[in-house]
Amino acid sequence: MASLPPSARRAGAALAVVTALLFGLVTWRSAFSVEPDYALHAGWAQELAEKGLIDIPHPLFHVLTVIVRALLPLRLADLIRPGLAAEWARQSPFFAALVVGTACYVALALLLYRRFLGEGNGSGTDARAWAAAGWALALLLVGPITVLTWHNHQLYLGYIVPNVFHNPTVVLLKPLALAWFWIVARPGRGGGRPWLRAALLAWAATLAKPSFTVAFLPALGLWLALGRRVPKAIDTRAALSSVLAGGATLAFQMWTRGARPALLSVAPLTVMGFYSASWQMPLLFVLSIAFPLCLAIARWPAARRDGPLVLAWLVFGVGAAYGYLLAEAGIHMGDGNWLWSGQVALLVLLAESVLFFRSRAGEGPAPPGRWRRACAVVFALQLACGLLWYGAEVVQPHEWWFPFPEEP
């Protein structure tokens, strides 16, 4: 952030500190819940450090955890009490995993901040810098509108939730996915060779977790095939390098995993059906995407001509379809691993929707004041419900994920 004016640097630094505190806390709380994903992945990282092997095809989080663990100054603990370093060393993979997860939140917040800071009007003013920081933090907290299911503690499963806190590989994927999307969908920013940076990010995002890649690549393929019929929004070379790099990495992952057919089962509404009745699914879906949907309706003539926003909707459509139509076969059917694609894609869609909402330029007239107010109210509702979800995960982790069973 050295190139930013002092007011923007102050806002960015404050954003980084607040993000580290907020999400360091919820990461720590989630790590000790009954869904101990961080402990599981920390164990795999330790296995990678000790044996040089790991039995999953997306090891980027574990590599980063090993690197951070190696940098921890554990020997200094013996200055406090002899033998303390050995005690801490046993827990060091776990704490290194928490550090990596928290750092990913800070990276995502700063990525959003720089984009929001660069897209608005009046660059460099104190008010705009703090507004950009506020929007960035809000996007890390926003959630579905869950008012209708508060009574049975259902804040997560059954909805498409853009922010969950317990899964470290998804936390790592989000900044990589968003940076990758913006390099492809917003060409001409950042200089250098966009096609090379897109290829590197495609490789890194897929090694973090392939959930976004399997949604983004089909969307890019459709975009390239229908390029004359939809608004131009992409750097074509960056898109092609993404398809090549991401596709090659996916193929390698499938090969190392044995390409087991049991990983994929076409099971429409089966996974979502574990957490909501069929008649509820359309309602919970709409409540998950309320702000982007409200904005698209309010500014339809301009929204359908905004290339990055249209592409974000296309990626989300592919990702959401996976969650509603696919499942893992056998005993893993209820794991919901195909839901991750829609969740990460929804964060990208929300970021693009905020950019579109804040923009006074662009094609088409600005929406009437009542529509701007309506969209702002909907976003505020999603943010309020997201804050409730965050608080639930801090105070009672895992207790507000899915509905209570019906009373007899």
Tell me how far apart the alpha carbons of residues 77 and 110 are, in angstroms, rounded to a whole number: 32
State pTM to two decimals: 0.93
Per-residue pLDDT, averaged over 39-51, amounts to: 91
Tell me the residue type at 201: L
Q: Give the bridge partners for 265, in sequence order.
A: 327
Tokens matching residue 231: 């608004």
C-alpha 138/C-alpha 185 separation (Å) is: 23
CB within 8 Å of 282: residues ≥ 6 apart: none
Q: Among 126-130, 285-289, 363-367, where is mean pLDDT lowest?
A: 363-367
**110 by DSSP, 3-state: which?**
helix
- pLDDT value, residue 196: 94
Q: Sort 234 into a burial class: Cβ within 10 Å, 0-12 / 13-18 / 19+.
A: buried
Describe the crossing of helices 37-51 and 168-185 by its angle, rounded to 10 degrees.
Answer: 90
pLDDT digits (tens, 9 = 90+) for 318-347: 999 999 999 887 666 777 889 999 999 999
